Structure 1
Amino acid sequence: MHHYKLKLAAFLAWAATVTCRGVPAPSHEAREDCPAGSVNYTQLAKKLSRTAQIYLSGSDAFDAAVARWSNLSTPVANVVVVPSTEHDVVETVNFANWHSLPFLTTNGVHGSITTLGKMIHGIEIHMSQLNSIAIAKNGKTATIGGGVMSKNLTDALWAAGKQTVTGTCECVSYLGPGLGGGHGWLQGRYGLVSDQFVSMNVVLANGNLITVDKNSELFWAMKGAGHNFGIVTSMTSKIYDIQHPNYAMETLIFSGDQVEAVYKVANEQWLTNGKTMPVDLINWSYWYFDPTTDPDKPVIAMYLIQEGVNAVDAAYTKPFLKLGPITTQALSGTYRDLAAWTGISLDATPCQKTGNANPRFPIYLKSYNTTAQGLVYDLFRQATTNASSPFSNSLFMFEGYSQQGVKAIREDASAFAYREDNLLVAPLLTYTPNGPGLDEVASKLGNQIRQILYEGSGETSLNTYVNYAYGDETPLAWYGSDAWRQNRLHALKRNFDPMGKFSFYAPIA
């Protein structure tokens, strides 16, 4: 890769200027943002640190940096900058602004929202080199680079007898989910990923580097709508002593014929009549087509995950066992095994860049409407079990975390709006891209499923998780429909990003 890592000397010799060639220009207005003539990236290279990197279109390094987990409505960049200091980020933003170039920050590249496709040229700022992790001497906080990945943080803290809330999937970044709130295995104890934030260094749209903490008006917005306001080069998070290293999981595989009965039990156990998920328990389930288990319809995989034990308490498993699952499996290990047990470890399929499109259609719920569960199961079955279906590898995800730590924090404490909801539900429609016609079929199916769940919820507004968002939802769905929330976000946007530089990921307006 040496000849692709265009560090200063090689870069200066190899590419004096690079034009905005090959930029899709569906309209005159879109084209105007790309300055006439050429952009001299050598001027940027001169200002970056020695270990910063610049990749130009056409190189293997560029292709690897821009590759995404989902290939639906992806952003288009002409150059990738890989900063190694926060000053490199400042210089890159200033350079982009000077040349009227759009820019987009990336790291884990698992965001699949279609609004990313609005970036049709510009600079990708790839944060992978800003990956430092430093635990404070008092052991209560850690300072984390803006490019740190979730697994790296978990492993580094674990080695020191510490942990904090991160996203569940090992291959996602730490801050990407966190800026949208961030669900995680430990949220029942401590709250969301963003609830751990103490302070952060942020490069604003104008290139200024500021520190944001509880004394800043921007702190509220960064915890739930942070993608709209700046680039976090580093942040300080609360961390905790490991209290319960051991975990157990019981996996129960059910026939789809039992769909209403399974979720009726889940409701009765934890979600209705004033009950709540125990703080030491997580309830996940997946629907997927596995012809080796059932050649006719998707199975239901119910995961009961318990903290601090070597076997899941029979009080949690017995009501499900009474339904007669097809198979059961008991596992025991540590916190670090959870991703592998639930199929989201580094070597699992969801962590691979396969070229597929992977749109999700998320909705928050307070409990399961079992009739709606049956209706959407039928739709999912029809879409996944047909031999010619492009969606046969799709997955339906039901995430039921313990909520005590989330609900212990006031609803107005951050831009994350959905502390009162108990379930995160999302069909993931995986398919090989084959033109806009198939994309439209996927969009129609995903939204039809979500609409049934919404109507069955009895809610008056659609509540969605911005980190899973499809892209056709509104800012009211991403950030809360309360007028005061929208007004506050719009006011902050006018103050900190009046030109809308950060508008490619679930924009506020």
Structure 2
Amino acid sequence: MCTSCGGSTTTIVAKDILPEAGSNSVDSAVQLIDIFRPHLSAGAQILFPFDKSWATELRQRWTTWEHPSFTSAIKPATESDLVSIVKLCAQHQIPFLATGGGHGAGMGYGTIKNAMNIDLGNFSSVELNAEANEMTVGGATLAAQVYEPLYAAGKEIPLGRSRCVGMVGLTLGGGIGSLQGRHGLVMDSLLSVRMVTARGDIVTASRTENADLFWALRGAGTNFGIITQATYRVYDAINNGQFINADFIYQAKSSRGLWDILKWADEEMPPELSIAVASGYDHAEGQALLIACVEYYGPLEDAQKFLDPFRALDPIKTGITSVPWPILSATAQFGNEETACKRSQFVNCYTVGLGQIHTDTLEKVFNMFIDFYRANPGYEGRFGYQKYCNKKVMAVPASETVYPWRNIKTQVLLRNMQTDHSIDAEVDALMRSMRSALAATSGFDGLQTYMNYAHGDEDSEALYGPNLSRVMEVKRKWDPTNMFGRGRPIPISS
């Protein structure tokens, strides 16, 4: 760590001032206050786990699985606060993690122990310039905050499937979602960012300014600094912002028919259509169930031909509605999609990207899933396939961003939420087996991982592929002491 980045010249090592997680050490708290308070604005807050406002003033992480442990937190009010915090953390060797939406996962975050949480909750804003087709958001702005302003102005932007994720975090990992068939990934709409770097500098990154940093941010952004605001291109809303949301629930006997639809979509997927198929298990009834969520931006008469194959599979429940864009994600899956937005759940995720659908493999992993459910009554989990047209995504040159896997046609998300933690090891073994089986027939030579869904045990090749060496060079230039990206670090040396 840098020990001469401003402030006093005396270096206090983190272990001397940071208490162990859960400790109520007043002396350590006083030392931290003495270090930071003189350099912060009046609106900045310094908090500790023993403060009554800890849980209310700070945005709590959405999953308790492999979570970082914090002994303190600072909630900066200004960019100048952030500059001071970064410099002082470097000087005093204090580990930290900056958080916005709090929706990041991955086992790498569990290695962050006794750290300081830099909570960006005060950087939460939306400014829309409809005439220029541009929108600027704060570093902690949630996706939920942009729907209404855009919809009211007759605009839209590609977003993910959940309203509760942070806009910036969603973008930095890539940003897949139902509008990518029309507008590409979320990061493809990013125009520029303003951020604090490891040196404590405030810089702008765009295609014309600090272009190397802008390239690296789009796919590996958490490794380079703290983004205070991001500016995006927005688009005229399609069909006046009205979507068709069609949900279907099936028994296990319909599984192959669903896999065949996904296989058809490998080549025939129109840009207006998105498909998500998830599997779960009803312990009370002792049966597996599948749910298909089909979204189409356009009128119902145009959507009918895409809905007919789902109707033909004999669903046990069907719901088809026309909904405005702001409530689409809350409506999906009969209103259950927003379960991903509950805070402090135990959620352990795995993922794999597919370039093709292999129906026998999908049926194999489906049966593995069912067998495990039947043998483990304490298990709760879902696995699903998200399918979006990727022609617009592929139209962007592969060299444009560090995220390399624009050729993925189907994203697989394996999400585990068991309360019986005696089976955690068995769950991980099952997930690795399912991931390996899917990767073996994915159509790719190796594992291709979407950063925002990554488990954390994937190697750097799975995340960055052919762009690994180049992103390592950018990392050495902008963050040579590896202050950022502790959850999913980019290797500094070969």
TM-score (norm 1): 0.87
Instruction: Look up the SS of the partner of 2:441 in the other structure.
Output: helix
Q: Measure the CA separation in 2 of the matches of 1:183 and 1:344.
A: 21
Q: Is the partner of 1:405 in helix, strand or coil?
A: helix
Distance 1:311 1:337, change over 3 A: farther
State how 1:33-432 maps to structure 2 within 5 Å: 39-64=31-56, 65=58, 67-136=60-129, 138-215=131-208, 216=210, 217-244=212-239, 245-268=241-264, 270-271=265-266, 275-290=267-282, 295-310=285-300, 313-343=303-333, 348-353=338-343, 355-386=344-375, 388-392=376-380, 394-432=381-419
1:277 and 1:123 mapped to 2: Cα distance? 45
Q: Is the 8 A contact 1:71 1:433 kept in 2?
A: no
370-379 or 323-332, which deviates more: 323-332
Instruction: Using the TM superposition, give the Cα deviation of residue 315 of structure 1 relative to its aligned residue in structure 2, in angstroms.
Output: 1.5
C-alpha change, 1:38 and 1:118, in structure 2 (3 Å) is farther
Which residue matches 2:452? 467
Do the aligned partners of residues 332 and 177 (structure 1) sit closer, same or farther apart at CA in structure 2, a change above 3 Å counting?
A: same
Which one-letter code corresponds to 2:178 in the other structure? W
One-letter identity of the residue aligned with 1:431:
Q
Provide the aligned length of Structure 1 versus Structure 2: 469
Partners of 1:19 and 1:38 within 8 A in 2: no
Change (3 A) 1:311 1:173: farther
Residues 244 and 303, structure 2, Cα contact 8 Å, conserved in 1: no
Q: What SS does the aligned partner of 1:348 have? A: helix
SS in 2 for 1:211: strand
Q: Which residue of 1 aligns with 2:20?
A: 22
> What percent of counterpart residues are identical?
27
**C-alpha displacement of 1:343:** 4.9
**Partners of 1:320 and 1:345 in 2: CA distance:** 19
Letter in 2 for 1:506: R
187-196 or 322-331: which moved more? 322-331
1:130-189, Cα deviation, whole Å (9 max, x unpaired): 012212373311121111100101222222222212222011111111111111222111
Q: Which runs of 5+ in 1 are unaligned?
A: 1-17, 25-35
**If the length of structure 2 is used for normalisation, what is the TM-score?**
0.89
RMSD (Å) for aligned C-alpha atoms: 2.4
Structure 1 residue 219: Cα displacement: 0.8
Whether contact under 8 Å (1:298, 1:385) holds in the other structure is: no
More helix by share: 2
1:276 shift after superposition:
3.3
Q: Secondary structure at the match of 1:78?
A: strand
Q: Deviations over 1:4-56 (max 9, x none)?
A: xxxxxxxxxxxxxx9422259xxxxxxxxxxx997432341232222222211
Structure 2 residue identity aligned to 1:478 = L
Q: Which runs of 4+ in 1 moved over 6 A?
A: 344-347
Deviations along 1:338-359, one digit per CA (max 9) or x if unpaired, are 2112259799322112x44211
What is the identity, as a one-letter code, of the residue corresponding to 2:383?
F
| Alignment gaps of 5+ in structure 2 | 1-15, 23-27
Q: For the Cα contact (< 8 Å) 1:401–1:423, is it kept in 2?
A: yes
Partner Cα separation in structure 2 for residue 255 and residue 263 of structure 1: 14
Tell me if structure 2 keeps the 8 A contact 1:311–1:330.
Answer: no
Distance 1:276 1:19, change over 3 A: same
In 1, Cα distance between the equivalents of 2:96 and 2:326?
A: 35
| Aligned-partner Cα distance in 2 for 1:344–1:367 | 28
Pair 1:442 & 2:434 matched? no
Provide, for residues 290-330 of structure 1, a one-character-per-residue CA deviation record: whole Å limited to 9, x for no partner: 357xx232211112211021456232122233332223221
Q: Tell me the SS of whatever aligns to 1:315.
A: helix
Which amino acid is 1:467 matched to? N
